[in-house]
Amino acid sequence: MDHRVSVGDDVALKIDGPLSIRHLRESEREEDLMASADRQAITGGYGSLNGSLHTFLSEVRTDLEQGVLSPRVLNDPDLHRAELDRIFTKCWVFVGHVSEIPSPGDYVLRYVGEDQFILVRDEQGEIQLLLNNCVHRASPVCRAEKGNTSHFRCPYHGWIYKNSGEWNGAPYRAKAYRKLDADRWGLRKAPHVDSYQGLIFACLDPDAVPLREYLGDMCWYLDVVFGLKEQGMRVVGEPHRWIVPSNWKSGAENFVGDGYHVQSAHRSLSDIGLVPTERSAGLHVSLNNGHGVLVIERTVPESFGATDFPPEVASTFELDRLDDNQRAFLTRHSVVGFTIFPNLSLFRAAGVTEDGRPTAVQISLRQWQPRGPEQMELWNWPMVWDSAPEEFNRASYDASVFSFGPSGVFEQDDTVVWRGGPTVGRSVFARKGMKLNFQMGMDGMSDYEDIPDWMGPGEASTTFFGERNQRRWWQRWSEALAAS
Ligand code: FES
Ligand code: FE
């Protein structure tokens, strides 16, 4: 048991146990408060879940076993608060790509949940994620979306921080802060930042498992998308950002497994020949930790080589970096989408001529940023290979913007239908017993079965006509919220 009591400014008591009360020395008190602030800010500051949320989450887990889910999950403010506290401070969250900050001093503003951070490469070349709030009076210290700097100077009173986050000075320091302990007043930084295949993730939990362990078998699929050569994949410009009146989870859940909606939500695109009428030649790969992958049969003939790229691009790849199974995968399949729990997704598709010649390969990272329970900010990073001809990359970028940019034709279809989440979650009538259906593929509902000798890790299904990935994503979500 550990309680602190303050009276006025300078009396502090610490209750170590029921009968042990002692005064704290000033330095001990300061340390104690710092440690308490650290614990509160990093490992969850809103306390334990209330009993009704616990009960609800245990109902969610039972419901998912039956393939149903309460619509309350798509707009409840208490659940939203708990997500920020228990998912976004505990999970590894994507914050950017290494190509966005190639040089010392390069920085961009990013988010973990709804908190704004500075993602910066410091003078030693290390990547840091710094909370964009001054530790003096909380003013944002960085107001440009991107740039290059050795220091951040707070606009309020002028405190200065190195780009590694350390406190580096203040106006009139000799008069105002003769005894300030500079080591203790740097910007708060994420305890863990790491990258895999150029994707930078951060985790705010000091006790986090390593990134590779968190990604698990997803690494295999990241390799076949981003690992075709050691370097060279880059984002094009700054990520597109726009507000969508939907809950962030609708996007994450869609990209983890919803191949089924294409024939309906995107029907107008199949009507004009942009996507196949029926997408039954696809499969799900269900992975650990709530991650999942959507795979389709290649649209580019095998004669064009073991990737979807034209020969002049494919010849620059170093496929010996992949194992035999990964190379075999590339000759037959393409990753068309995935979600890494909680909120990073990918869309990837090859545009082809009638004889199957690749004209463009669009690759977009997409992130579903929570902005309250009823809104998300959607971020979209089109990506290209440096070794591809400029014309091919331009076509690939245009395809990304045309399909999944802010005005993209696919994008509009999806964001219109996702608006139903907040409205049904708000409906008092819906709350009285309405359940959403997640039963496709369960118990003989379709031909959804495991492929017995799948070439990669995870459980691969024989068809898209199932919702195992979505159920598992929600299972992971409910477990993350309920964890102590
Ligand atoms: Fe930053 Fe005062 S708020 S220096
Ligand atoms: Fe869609």
DSSP tag of 275: S
Query: What is the number of the ligand 1 atom nearest to the C-alpha of 170?
Result: 4
- Per DSSP (E only), the strands in 33-87 are 68-69
Closest atom of ligand 1 to 137 CA is 3
- Please give the distance, rounded to the nearest whole angstrom, from the Cα atom of residue 167 to the centre of ligand 1: 12
Probe target for ligand 1 pocket from 131, 135, 137, 177, with the most ligand atoms within 8 Å of CB: 137
Question: Which ligand is closest in space to the CA of residue 337?
Answer: 2
Mean pLDDT of the chain: 88
Q: What is the DSSP letter of 5?
A: E
Ligand nearest, relative to CA of residue 250: 2
Which residues are within 5 Å of ligand 2 (an ion), measured at CB? 414
- What is the rounded distance in angstroms from the CA atom of residue 482 to the CA atom of residue 484? 6
- Strands in 146-148's sheet, in edge-to-edge order, are 127-131, 115-121, 106-112, 146-148
Distance 133 CA to ligand 1 centre (A): 9
CA–CA separation, 121 and 110 (whole Å): 13
Ligand nearest the Cα atom of residue 279 = 2
> Which pLDDT belongs to residue 426?
83
User: What pLDDT is attached to residue 30?
Assistant: 44
∠ CA 250-254-256, rounded to 5°: 120
User: Cα separations (Å) of 153 from 106, 111, 141, 150, 163?
Assistant: 15, 20, 6, 10, 10
Helix (H), strand (E) at residue 422: helix 420-426
Residue closest to 112 by CA, chosen among 2, 192, 18, 9: 192
According to the model, what pLDDT value does residue 411 have?
87
Ramachandran region, residue 35 (left: φ > 0; alpha: ψ -120 to 50; beta: rest): alpha
The string of pLDDT tens digits covering residues 249-265 is 999 999 999 999 988 89
Nearest CA to ligand 1 atom 4: 157
Q: What is the structure's pLDDT at 278?
A: 57
E strands of 142-239, at which residues? Answer: 146-148, 151-153, 160-162, 167-169, 192-196, 199-203, 233-235
CA 272 to centroid of ligand 2, rounded, Å: 16
Q: Is the CB of 155 under 6 A from ligand 1?
A: no
Per-residue pLDDT tens listing for the chain (484 residues): 334 433 333 333 343 333 333 333 444 444 444 444 443 333 334 456 788 899 999 999 999 999 999 999 999 999 999 999 999 999 999 999 999 999 999 999 999 999 999 999 999 999 999 999 999 999 999 999 999 999 999 999 999 999 999 999 999 999 999 999 999 999 999 999 999 999 999 999 999 999 999 999 999 999 999 999 988 799 999 999 999 999 999 999 999 999 999 888 988 887 876 666 655 578 999 999 999 999 998 877 777 777 888 888 888 899 999 999 999 999 999 999 999 999 999 999 888 777 777 788 999 999 999 999 999 999 999 999 998 999 999 999 999 999 888 888 888 899 999 999 999 888 888 888 899 999 999 999 999 999 999 999 999 999 989 999 999 999 999 999 999 7
Q: Are 382 and 400 in contact (CB under 8 A)?
A: yes
Does the Cβ of 347 fall within 6 Å of ligand 1?
A: no
Determine the pLDDT at residue 431. 82
Q: Is the CB of 201 under 6 A from ligand 1?
A: no
For the CA of 141, the nearest atom of ligand 1: 1
Kindly report, residue by residue over 429-484, the tens digit of the pLDDT.
888 889 999 999 999 999 999 999 999 999 999 998 999 999 999 999 999 999 97
With a 6 A CB cut-off, is 156 part of the ligand 1 pocket? Answer: yes
Atom of ligand 1 nearest to the CA of 157: 4
Q: Which domains does the chain have, with CATH numbers?
A: 2-26+91-203 (2.102.10.10), 217-482 (3.90.380.10)
What's at 166, amino acid-wise?
Answer: E
pLDDT of residue 19: 32
Protein residue closest via CA to atom 3 of ligand 1: 137
Report the atom number in ligand 1 closest to the C-alpha of 138: 3
pLDDT of residue 277: 60
Q: Ligand 1 pocket: which of 141, 157, 168 to mutate (most atoms <8 Å of CB)?
A: 157
pLDDT value, residue 5: 38
Mutate to test the pocket of ligand 1, among 130, 133, 135, 139 (most ligand atoms within 8 A of CB): 139
